[in-house]
Amino acid sequence: MPTASTGSKKHLVRVHGLCHGAWCWYKVMTYLRSTGHQVSAVDLGGSGVHPSWLDEIATFDDFIPPLLQFLESLPANERVVLVGHSFGGLAISLAMEKFPHVVSVAVFISAYMPNCMDPPALQMTQYFKTLKPETYIDCRFIFRNGSLESAELGENYMATMMYPNCPPEDLVLAKMLMRPSNFFLEDMSKEGLLTREKYGSISRVYVVCEDDRVMDEEFQRFIIKDSPPKEVKSFPGAGHKIMMSKSKDLSLYLQEIVAQYP
């Protein structure tokens, strides 16, 4: 479910990564709200406090409606800064294709950022090829017909790979609120999901999270080369969960973005 702050300067809409929810943006939302920005965070299907369960979110069309419905509900003249983290990059990409007139700029934070030619799953498939089995640690995966279907993040994985750069209380919060999620590889392997005329017409910014153990910097640089954005910004020592480890720095940069892209 969307959660929003008050204010009318700018409207930033942020989307979480795999197995997370709107809750992971709580620090950034607090900083931006204090400056008067209007901020929203969306729980995608089966995530955060969204009422659906994993077995009810079989396709990406089941996963993305909360974001699409939120954008559709905005006033006719309102434009947003769309921010996606990690797996959330796929969600904001399809939202950009659906509502190109609503999005002034999209910010991809250590995220998948598809190009306009290949199916969005191509970057994800490349990512899985780079992983070694030992990096999964205690994550639990479900396969169907030999294809990776869903994942539940393990506590050791979160502590070692996702949250080592964050204050310990953020890891405790994550362990309490994490939910399993599907990968939707089959859906994201379809041709023609993104077009140059819609998705490709919107300015994109990529935030590189250095010291990221989930999507390492080399892979983030591969994404940038595969789908060049208008601007790239690097944050040393951020790790994967930059919205918690470097929340103030990220918030200040997002304020620069909203000022730069009206």
pLDDT in tens, 129-171: 888 888 899 999 988 777 789 999 999 999 999 999 999 999 9
240 annotated active-site: yes
Q: How many Cα atoms occupy the beta-carbon half-sphere of 46 within 13 Å?
A: 22
The catalytic residue among 104, 212, 216, 227 is 212
73 annotated active-site: no
Provide the number of structural domains found in the chain: 1
212 annotated active-site: yes
Instruction: Report the candidate in 256, 254, 124 with the shortest Cα–Cα distance to residue 193.
Output: 124
Q: Is the pLDDT of residue 3 over 80?
A: no
pLDDT, average across residues 184-200: 97
- If one counts every other C-beta atom within 10 angstroms of the C-beta of residue 79, the result is 17
d(CA 119, CA 191): 5
How much is the pLDDT for 6?
Answer: 41
Q: pTM value?
A: 0.95
How much is the pLDDT for 171?
Answer: 98
- CATH code where residue 98 lies: 3.40.50.1820
pLDDT in tens, 66-120: 999 999 999 988 999 999 999 999 999 999 999 999 999 999 999 999 999 999 9
Domain interval for residue 129: 3-260
The catalytic residue among 86, 150, 181, 227 is 86
Residue where the block lists tokens 């995220």:
111
The catalytic residue among 240, 245, 247, 251 is 240
